[in-house]
Chain A
Amino acid sequence: MAEFPLRNIVVVGGGTTGWLAAATLARVIGASCPIRLITRASDVVDGARNGATASVPSLHRMLRLLRIDETALMRATAATFRLGAMFRDWTAVGDHYFNGFGAFGARLDAVPFQHHWLRHVAAGGSEGFEEYSMAAHLARLDRFAIPQSDPRSVLSLYSYAWHFDSGLLVDFLRLYALQAGVKEITDEIAAVTLDPADGSVRELVLAGGNRVEGDLFIDCSGAHAVLSSALGMTNEDWSPWLPCDRMQTLRTDPEDRLPPYSEAIADTAGWRSSIPLQNCAVRSQVYCSEFTDDDAIAAKLTASARASSSRDPYLQRLVRGRPKEFWTRNCLLLPGESIDPLDGTALHLAQSGITRFLAHFPVGKSSPTDVAEYNRLTAGEYDRLRDHLVLHYHATRRADSPFWNRCREMTLPETLRHKLALFADSGRITVTEEDHCGVDSWLFVLLGQGLLPRSYDPLVEAMPLATARRAFAGISHEMRTRAATLPTHRDFLRQRGASTL
């Protein structure tokens, strides 16, 4: 048996990302390499306790890897299902659209569906694109069931993720990690000792006096940036593109409705969201501090909630950027936040960072090409997600506030400009296989926010318009009819054993 290149791994930070990282590593390499996690006593009472975590469908892969049972997880975390997100007032006050997980329409021929739809609309068709999204149909009726695998059924044309109680999710992952052999150390980090020779992290000095040595450190301390700041890791600044720098969160009583999606409602200096959990709803205000102040936002948030909430809103600062490097020397940085809370990719980024780390696991004391590849791929993933987010802010007709004026007039990242130019010409979207956001996810935002191309793919005209329209009517009728046969989200959760409903 070859010698394992790392004698131990130290994870710093006891939030979702830290415990997810520790749990995954313990599951995959636990027997070869002890894993310790250092958590501050306050990590678990920070905002996490108040918050909700929205996820995206890639999380299914993580559950399979960790062999986590979906029902058990949902029961432990007061989770609800998530078919996507409802956006209100983004393009103009009063507008709304649903960005659902899954396909836009169905395959008619070799030409992608959107071109057929654009032609239908150009020829006077009035049905919105959501008419051809199964997830949107279910969202409209607050209904849910697990998608089917038979590709001939319209019930195979959507996918789903979850909303979790953030605090309970941390508890769940912590328990999993501890059972898998992770050792937890609860203490503050007082100092970070670097190796004078190569600048790597040698040990952490804890407030209680203990020293923790490690061969590899994973910094999941979020905004505290305990290790990354000691190593001088810096961020690329995305504030020109991502306008919101703060978020306040408040847990409120459950709503009467239990929608299988989250909502993001644009406001004059940002947006507010509502995420349903089994026993409550979590409301947030995400905003730009240049255009409003924290007290006004806190007052708004409290007023929008039902009176029974006893807590004060919890305030967080948003990073608006990404690390220039994610892995340097013997320290891996898993930022643990979404690039912007709008898209619910915090868990996705954590998961993808951890699995990518396993795919580039250091082969020795140093593994320079693995580090470089890890950084190249991770930076690419962040940059592509950023573009998708920026589109939401930029593609607006709102002119009611300085905030939206700035968003509308911003200079776009070159990669996004290129993507939009291709769409604007003839409705085409190119993505690579590495893209988290597929063609349909781009289209839902583009069309949802009122962008139409100048024209569409001329090859659609190989199919007579009448034939295409019959297919359209069939798809929408089938989706509508089948949606009505599914249980409501609340009933489905009850069937799954959610006792709190």
Chain B
Amino acid sequence: MNEPPQRIRSIVIVGGGTAGWMTAATCAHRLSDGSCSITLIESPEIGTVGVGEATIPTIRLFNQSLGIDESDFLRATQGTFKLGIEFQDWTRIGHRYMHPFGIPGLSMEAPIHQRWLHSRAQGDGTAFEDYSLNATIARLDRVAPPAGAAGGFGPLYGYAYHFDAGLYAAYLRRYSEARGVRRLEGKIVDVALRADDGFIEALQLEDGRRVDAELFIDCSGFRGVLIEQALKSGYEDWTHWLPCDRAVAVPCESAGALTPYTRSTARAAGWQWRIPLQHRIGNGYVFCSRHISDDEATATLLANLDGKPLAQPRVLRFVTGRRRSIWNRNCVAIGLAAGFLEPLESTSIHLIQKSITHLFNLFPDRRFSPVLREEFNRLALAEYDHIRDFVMLHYKANARDDAPLWKYCREMPIPDSLAWRLEHFRNSGRVLRYPADLFAAPNWLAVLLGQEVWPERGDPLVTRHDPARLRAEMQEIHATIQRLAQSAVPHRDFIERHCRAAARAAPGPSNRGATTS
């Protein structure tokens, strides 16, 4: 009992996209004593899907864990700040709301949404997002000042980044290679399995080289070269819940203000993203091929850009869902090889990061104990299920009457976990919590209230208060948030001063401090 572990001596990571290099960088950092060789195989012929580009605040923990300097990282990746997501036309055409990071109101202890609901019932027309410091700052195209990690606003303020995922992968590649990760270029043509237990023994490359390892990490994207093609782990298809199955993406020139938020605009057959970077804007239309052709979707996208397109539009196909098992034998799948959820809430990079975290919390030794594998699958798969529910809420709670996709989504059956959550919220305006939920009450509330899901009754502990007192209290909170937001600095100025990328400066006119509509 209690003997030293039989340490894994070699790891091979297959795939050099965001997932591959995030995994490689973590391996290099956490296995820094040189006892384990780390090899990443990527094929220059196979393109990477630039997943993400927009992130959620957990990305900061990932970068911090690697000791990455924020300004250096933003310079290297054309990065900008992100305070939330603006949803346009989701509730109905012409409507918009913000899902901000941070918490609404002024304190964690006194949740504000019940007071807001009550105040609204009394005729107060102030939007819910006006009680969010993050949303208020974001609408001003500002970011919190650099004093302290979050501008001294504590949990009221939260931020993430927009960045070029290709540049991020390149940045992490430099990080990894500097710490001993070996990079091989090659195409895998065969996967050799051990006869007795089906574990992966080695990978055969097209040029004849054979690469063996004890632990294999599959970051090969949708195809799942190891986890699916070799190990047949199985896939749970969620298309009936999230019917979009393609995306067309194109970058364009920036014009106008540098908005510190992602924008998602609902369209007839899906939705369009807008992600502002320092040097360009990333755009894409996520759509359902049953309702629109690739050409029509591309035309819609090109007709709705801020500036001139900077590349040929590229169409991607996907099947929303996840593998039944993402740690199978001596192989762990991370990123798109594990599953796909459309980037409506910018969770692709987060899912990569969470799988890496779970893997390193349960890092195996050569025994490959089934207990660790089961625990990893339980935890990592639950992350997908939870985010699926949150993304589905956006589709389910719509009142659009313009297109069949929206009617389908409004009427589609939903998972029990989401149905119960909605029923509870409709009953009393309360947000329930399951263990290990990523999205907490502030996130759910932003979308529920933003998409006008109204509870039947309010919390009696709030509604019992005198309306005049409540009105005064709400005005006071609103005024405080307005005042605090004034200390924020224009987003573009902040980037210029602290983390402007070198050569390729953003083209287009500067429009500092202006608000977008």
| Contact, CB under 8 Å: A362 / B4 | no
Contact of B460 among A4, A422, A456 (CB under 8 A): A4
What's the Cα separation between A418 and B7 when bound, in Å? Answer: 24
For the complex, give the distance between the alpha carbons of A121 and B362 in Å.
Answer: 21
Min CB distance A215 to B, Å, is 12
How many chain A residues have a CB neighbour from B under 8 Å? 47
- For residue A433, CB closer than 8 A to chain B, the reply is yes
Contacts of B7 in A (CB 8 A): 458, 461
Report how far A430 CA is from B375 CA in the complex, Å: 9
Is A210's CB within 8 Å of the partner chain B?
no
A88 to B1, CA, bound (A): 24
Q: Which of A156-164, A366-374, A475-483 contacts B (4 or more CB under 8 A)?
A: A366-374
Q: Is A428 an interface residue (CB 8 A)?
A: yes
Q: For chain B, which range describes its interface: under 10, 10 to 19, 20 to 34, or 35 or more residues?
A: 35 or more
- B461 to A1, Cβ gap below 8 A? no
114-148 of chain A: CB within 8 A of chain B: 118-119, 121-123
User: Bound state CA distance, A461 and B36, in angstroms?
Assistant: 11
* Bound form: Cα–Cα A421–B464 in Å: 50
Residues 116-173 of B at the A interface (beta carbon under 8 Å): 118
| Interface SS, B side | loop
Report A449 CB to chain B, min CB distance, Å: 14
Report B-chain residues with C-beta under 8 Å of the C-beta of A453. 1-2
Residue from the list A31, A123, A426 in contact with B369, Cβ < 8 A: A426
User: From residue B57, how far is it (CB to closest CB) to chain A in Å?
Assistant: 17
Whether the pair B363, A457 counts as a contact (CB closer than 8 A) is: yes
At the interface, yes or no: A358 with Cβ under 8 Å from chain B?
A: yes
Q: What are the residues of chain A within 8 A of B360 when measuring CB–CB?
A: 110, 459
* Interface presence of A172 (CB below 8 A): no
A456 near B2 with CB under 8 A, answer yes
Main secondary structure on A side of the interface with B: loop
Q: Does B432 contact A (CB under 8 A)?
A: yes
Give A110 to B361 CA distance when docked, in angstroms.
Answer: 9
Q: Is the CB of B1 within 8 A of A369?
A: no
Tell me the number of A-to-B contacts counted with CB atoms below 8 Å. 125
Contact residue among B379, B428, B464 (Cβ-Cβ distance under 8 Å from A1):
B464
Against B, the Cβ 8 Å flags (1 = close, 0 = not) of A326-358 are: 000000000000000000000000000000001
User: Please, how many angstroms separate the alpha-carbon atoms of A57 and B490 in the complex?
Assistant: 45
**B368 to A: closest C-beta gap in Å:** 11
Residues in chain A near residue B424, CB distance under 8 A: 369-370, 373
What per-residue 1/0 map shows which CB atoms of B1-42 lie under 8 Å from chain A? 111111110000000000000000000001111010000000
Give the contacts of A185-238 with B (CB-CB under 8 A): none
Does chain B have a CB within 8 A of A454?
Answer: yes
Give B8 Cβ to nearest chain A Cβ, in Å. Answer: 7
Given contacts A363-B459, A428-B362, contact A122 B2 (CB under 8 A): yes
Q: Which of A358, A422, A452, A464 has the most CB of B within 10 A?
A: A422
- Kindly provide the distance from the CB of A132 to the nearest chain B CB, expressed in whole angstroms: 16
Residues of B within 8 A of A399 (CB): none
CB under 8 Å from chain B, chain A span 29-43:
29, 31-32
What residues on A are CB-neighbors of B46 within 8 Å? none
Q: Please pick, from B4, B432, B436, the residue contacting A432 in the complex, using a CB distance under 8 A.
A: B436
Contact A363 B458 (CB under 8 A): yes
Give the complex CA separation of A373 and B433 in angstroms: 10
The 0/1 profile, CB within 8 Å of B marked 1, for residues 90-114 of chain A is: 0000000000000000000010000
Separation of A370 and B33 alpha carbons in the complex (Å): 52
B336-353 Cβ-contact flags toward A at 8 Å (1 or 0): 000000000000000000
Whether A369 touches B423, Cβ cut-off 8 Å, given contacts A1-B466, A361-B461, A364-B457, is yes
Instruction: Determine if B363 and A373 form an interchain contact, defined as CB atoms under 8 angstroms apart.
Output: no
- The listed residue with most A CB atoms (<10 A of its CB), out of B4, B371, B460, is B460
List, in ascending order, chain A residues with CB within 8 A of B430's CB. 359-360, 370, 373
Cα A422 to Cα B463 in complex, Å, equals: 47
- Assess the B35–A454 pair: CB atoms within 8 A: no
Q: Separation in Å of the A295 CB from the closest CB of chain B?
A: 43
Encoded as 1 (CB less than 8 Å from any A CB) or 0, chain B from 67 to 91 comes to 0000000000000000000000000
Asked if B467 and A1 make an inter-chain contact with CB atoms under 8 angstroms apart, the answer reads: yes
A5 within 8 A of partner (CB): yes
> How many angstroms between the C-alpha atoms of A32 and B375 in the bound complex?
48
With both chains docked as a complex, state the minimum distance between the C-beta of B430 and any C-beta of chain A, in angstroms: 7
Residue ranges of A at the interface with B (Cβ–Cβ < 8 Å): 1-2, 4-6, 28-29, 31-32, 110, 118-119, 121-123, 358-364, 367-370, 373, 421-422, 425-426, 428, 430, 432-434, 452-459, 461-462, 464
Pull 12 A–B residue pairs with CB atoms less than 8 Å apart, ordered by A. Answer: A1-B465, A4-B460, A118-B2, A362-B460, A369-B420, A370-B424, A422-B371, A425-B372, A426-B5, A428-B375, A432-B435, A462-B31
B residues neighboring A (CB under 8 Å): 1-8, 30-33, 35, 65, 118, 360-365, 367, 369, 371-372, 375, 379, 420, 423-424, 427-430, 432, 435-436, 456-461, 463-467
The list of the 8 closest CB pairs from A to B, nearest first, reads A432-B435, A2-B463, A458-B5, A363-B457, A369-B424, A369-B427, A452-B2, A363-B428
